[in-house]
Amino acid sequence: MNNEARWVTGKITSKVPAKDSRGNALYWKDSEKKYLTTDVTAYLAYTYEITETEKLKIAFEGSGQASYPYSVWGAGDGVIKNTGSGFGDSARGYIYKGPNAFNFRYNASNTGDTRELILHDNGIEIASVKGDIHLIGDAVHINAVKGGIQLLHSLGSKIVIDESGENIKLEHSNGSVLEITNEGLFADIDGDINLNATGDIKLSGARIDLN
């Protein structure tokens, strides 16, 4: 017996006259269609061929104490299918709980590219393979209570705020660096520096050295 619950929709694809085990045609006894008979009436009974489409399934993967629950959402588009516990069918959503993480996953139509939110024991991971991530709100707040903040680009450029919150570093993939610390502002630029303004440019300090 499978430990699962399924919600399906059905579509009638064909119908043929119904027959009993001896091959006799079956008829409804009357228009209420409650009782079948082999006596000929005006109400011929039919056997229907139905194609089922699974729209939602809730089940367990594995058995015993090692099993874990999962659910499958939607019918999928049929491009990538029958991946089972790989949870990779395209145009389908999955929710599943493993030993150390809770996953919310959707695989994009046609490609199966993953969009996923994973709640780990040690944090949260958000992934969008070959897709964008949008954060939209009247205000968006990112607050690191302990530890630093890093914004990294795959080509090497990055913005880093260290664990103390006192050092902010902007680094370009070409090696150029702009850094703010308690000691001041440090810039090491591989290239030109251009300052343009429609108004005044003012430099003020205890001493200004131009070399």
Phi, psi of 52 (to 5 degrees): -90, 145
Would the pLDDT of 1 be above 60? no
What pLDDT, in 10s, does the model give residues 13-59?
999 999 999 999 999 999 999 999 999 999 999 999 999 999 999 99
pTM above 0.85, yes or no: no
Report CA Rg, the chain. Answer: 32
pLDDT band at 2 (very low <50, low <70, confident <90, very high): low
Question: Cα separation of 39 and 27, whole Å?
Answer: 7
* Domain edges within the chain: 4-128, 149-188
Handedness of CA 34, 38, 41, 45 (dihedral sign): positive
Query: What SS3 state is found at 124?
Result: strand
Query: Terminal CA-to-CA distance of the chain, rounded, Å?
Result: 83
What pLDDT, in 10s, does the model give residues 98-133?
889 999 999 999 999 999 999 999 999 999 999 999
